[in-house]
Amino acid sequence: MDNIKVLIDEEKLQKRVKELAKEIEKDYKDKEINLICILKGSIFFTCDLAKNINNNVKIDFLRLASYEGENSSKVKLVANLLPSIENKDVIIIEDIIDTGKTLNYLVPYLKKENPKSIKVCTLLDKPSRRAVSFKADYTGFEIEDKFVIGYGLDFDQDYRNLPFIGYIEK
């Protein structure tokens, strides 16, 4: 069994998710909000966030994968389950920003669909790991350069169901 340590406990996590939801509510007044959940990592975050936003909230999904090439990784859209986002206020919900490559690919890709607005909300950010610059509009927690698991984040598909953010102690 892996030795799992808690980095952000459930209470702290839920408190911050509620704060983010209130920030979003304030910024979007009474507008409809279209959340785009990036599968699979953002699933719990998207649900908890959505439950705490008192606007008309719609939730849609897409799945990305990154492939390691010779000396750089490439991001690919593997499942686009989105309805038209034309003229919609869209918020991309991400679990973590690491190198920044995923969102550097995704944001321009979605902008081509002509949404009314597009913002990014990430639960976690590891700014020290950036390969390409990217800044989210809403960030839950900045963390150190550690590989984290839980609350949607996985290690080889395991540990997504932990209710907290943790890491594996070597």
Residues that bind ligand IMP (CB under 6 A): 41, 66, 94-102, 147-148, 153
- Minimum CB distance to ligand IMP smaller for 56 or for 132: 132
Question: What is the chain's alpha carbon radius of gyration, rounded to the nearest angstrom?
Answer: 16
- Minimum CB distance to Mg ion smaller for 41 or for 100: 41
Q: How far is the CB of 136 from ligand IMP (least distance, A)?
A: 10
Q: How far is it, in rounded angstroms, from Cα 45 to Cα 39?
A: 11
Q: How far is the CB of 29 from ligand IMP (least distance, A)?
A: 29
- Minimum CB distance to Mg ion smaller for 6 or for 65: 65
Tokens of 46: 């998207």
Annotation marks residue 95 as catalytic = no
Interface residues toward Mg ion, by CB under 5 A:
41
Binding partner selected for residue 97 from ligand IMP, Mg ion, none, CB under the kind-specific 5 to 8 Å limit: ligand IMP
CA neighbor of 148 nearest in space, from 36, 9, 29 = 9
- Minimum CB distance to ligand IMP smaller for 28 or for 36: 36
DSSP string, 64-112: EEEEE-SSSEEEEEEEE-----TT-EEEEEEEEESSSHHHHHHHHHHHT
Using alpha carbons only, what angle is made at residue 132 by residues 129 and 136, rounded to the nearest 5 degrees?
Answer: 80
Q: Name the β-bridge partners of 67.
A: 74
* Catalytic annotation, pick one of 9, 30, 95, 98: 98
Q: How far is the CB of 57 from ligand IMP (least distance, A)?
A: 21
Catalytic annotation, residues: 98
